[in-house]
């Protein structure tokens, strides 16, 4: 239940960022656990828990800001990235989308 409350807090944070900062898009995402060992038939997979459970990706015209959250929805930190395409592809592979807030420009 704690993870569900954390997800709600993260989505509310993403919505607040979208209203206040007016970026192109804001995405709230859940980070997948990392696989570190696979073997056998049938497939046996060991996974590792990651300390960052949720992220919020805020895309501006030239930068991407990623906020990191714990499983309870507590903000752990944020980073700015310049390489939008490379980082967005990596984030899409290692996480699943919870909510997205697009901002359509009139021009």
pLDDT of residue 29: 95
Return the sign of the alpha-carbon dihedral for residues 20, 77, 88, 72: negative
pLDDT at 41 exceeding the cut of 80? no
> What is the Cα–Cα distance from 69 to 77, expressed in whole angstroms?
7
pLDDT of residue 107: 56
Q: What is the pLDDT of residues 56-71, one digit of tens each?
A: 999 998 999 999 999 8
- Number of Cβ atoms within 10 Å of the Cβ of 13: 18
Domain boundaries, the chain: 26-100
Percent of the chain with pLDDT over 90: 50
Q: Contact, 32 vs 48, CB < 8 A?
A: no
């Amino acid at each position: 239940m704690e993870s569900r409350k954390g997800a709600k807090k993260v989505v509310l944070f993403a919505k607040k960022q979208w209203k206040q900062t007016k970026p192109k898009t804001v995405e709230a995402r859940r980070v997948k656990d990392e696989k570190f060992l696979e073997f056998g038939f049938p497939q046996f997979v060991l996974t590792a828990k990651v300390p960052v459970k949720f992220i919020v990706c805020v895309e501006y015209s030239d930068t991407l800001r990623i906020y990191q959250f714990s499983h309870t929805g507590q903000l752990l930190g944020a980073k700015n990235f310049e390489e939008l395409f490379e980082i967005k592809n990596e984030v899409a592979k290692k996480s699943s989308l919870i909510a997205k807030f697009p901002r359509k420009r009139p021009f």
